[in-house]
Structure 1
Amino acid sequence: MATGLVTAAGIDDQEKVQGSVMLFNQWSYDGVEISDLSVEDYITATASKHATYIPHTAGRYQAKHFRKAQCPIVERLTNSLMMHGRNNGKKLMAVRIIKHAMEIIHLLTEQNPIQVIVDAVINR
């Protein structure tokens, strides 16, 4: 009986470690800050509501006005790569490109790539 409690506590500790949503199971949404107040409502990069494991939610963000502001910023970047006719509908290729780009950003800057993307969007 006591071992069941110990294993249950061990499972709870593992769930706390694995419970946080990380983009591509590598980068956490925790600590991502949006420094510009004017775009804070339009950039979704926090783990509270719209955190995803991969930027492929298949959400209907265009159905209402300003609903695309709820789309995660990394997914919006992924969708913007699929613009021209030859890239139309190739979302998995765009996701792969974003993942490789984020790995390069992490290797070069040693920062959270989600924070780097948010800062790049703010600076235009």
Structure 2
Amino acid sequence: MTKKKDDQNQDFDFDLIEKWLENYFLDPLTSYYDQTQFQIDVYETDKEWIVEAILNEFEASEIRVYIEEEKLFISAAKYPPSPDNQKRVRSIEFPFKINQQEISASFLNGILEIFISKTKKGTGKNRYITFP
């Protein structure tokens, strides 16, 4: 396996990440949760990983994004809660600590996008991610 260092001295084992992405999309639970909770896709660019969640039924104020070490949690719940509107939750476990990377998010037209920088350092703390 080869490791590549970015400008911020963060090590990413790209072979491990490629294997992780392959396993994530081939996991039958991923398809099941896409149908029963909400759909998630993961994209990669040169500078970031992008997690996209389709949340057409929800308003921005009803969505929470939380990162805890290598885990990303997305939850959505209608307000006021009712038996017909159950809370929906998805999580993704990355093969590296995402809380050490800069993360931002946006929500527009029912699509939540979470941007995890490959090159910029974050606080290193578990935290909620806010978006406009």
Length-normalised TM-score, structure 1: 0.21
Structure number with the higher strand fraction is 2
Structure number with the higher helix fraction is 1
Length-normalised TM-score, structure 2: 0.20
Structure possessing the higher radius of gyration over alpha carbons = 1
